[in-house]
A = this chain, B = another copy of it.
Amino acid sequence: MHVELLSYTPDPLRLLYTAARTCYSAGRPAELWAETASAAAMQRLIEHIVASGHHSILEHAYFNFALGGISRSCSHQLVRHRLASYSQQSQRYVEGPFDYVTPPSWEGAGEAWGRRYHRVMGELNDLYREALAAGIPAEDARFVLPNACSTQLVMSMNLRQLVHTVGLRTCTRAQWEIRRLFEQVAAVVRQAEPFLGAFLVTKCERLGYCDERESCGRYPLRADVLDQEERK
């Protein structure tokens, strides 16, 4: 799996700060943008707004990623996040041989299982190539390709949606591959923009409790931490 940040909105902190101040001040946005403000002052305002649950200003910062080496299972889940843009390698147009992803549990189940896994992947790639050679079109030949086949995409997502998606997908209940993917997505954003990247946390950290049925132990369940009697 590889995740790279290809590009993103330049100077995003200043942009978010300008957007936030546009809402609450009489100044023109272009003037607010040109104003000098310390990074600390800009960060204080953004932190304050985000802490109050007003995430819409985060939409102005936009991130473009190269994602690769993930399985088609993983990409099928990924593209269910609809507030994002994807350009994905096409199995209609790109003819293998394909790489594939190996879940640790196959090799963990014993040496024989690992060998079987790799053997069947090889066989499917062979069958696929033979089918192409026999004149079966790529869009049909791929029907024998497994979920394990790796794929790659360019994905663009704004920061609000990143906060939402990283929150969900880095939960320990998420499937391991997409969890790893969004841990890396969060990591490359944090590396490029440490302040903004710090908003990319698992949902329990934002909520203060676990809202799943069972907690992994990182945060207590809602019922265990919120005294239901506290409601006035």
Interface, chain A (partner B; CB < 8 A): 2, 4, 6-11, 15, 18-20, 22-26, 28-30, 33, 48, 51-53, 56-57, 59-60, 62, 64, 66-68, 71-73, 75-76, 79-80, 82-83, 85-94, 100-106, 109-110, 113, 116-117, 120, 124, 127, 131, 134-137, 139-140, 142-148, 152-154, 156, 158, 175-176, 203, 207-209, 211-213, 217-220, 222, 225-227, 230-232
Contact = CB atoms under 8 A, between A and B. Distances in A.
B7 A7 contact: no
Copies of the chain in the assembly: 4
A135 to B, nearest CB: 6
Contact of A85 (B56, B104, B117): B56
Nearest to A88: B23
A23 B56 CA distance: 29
A209 B232 contact: no
Contact of A154 (B19, B117, B153, B154): B19
B89 A22 contact: yes
Contact of A116 (B28, B62, B127, B230): B127
Given A20-B87, A147-B145, A152 B103 contact: no
Contacts of A134: 109-110, 113
19 contacts: A6-B33, A18-B66, A23-B88, A25-B94, A26-B94, A29-B66, A29-B153, A33-B66, A53-B203, A59-B85, A59-B156, A62-B62, A82-B83, A85-B158, A116-B127, A143-B148, A144-B148, A208-B209, A218-B232
A213 B52 contact: yes
A42 to B, nearest CB: 14
Contact of A144 (B20, B117, B212, B231): B117
Nearest to A231: B219
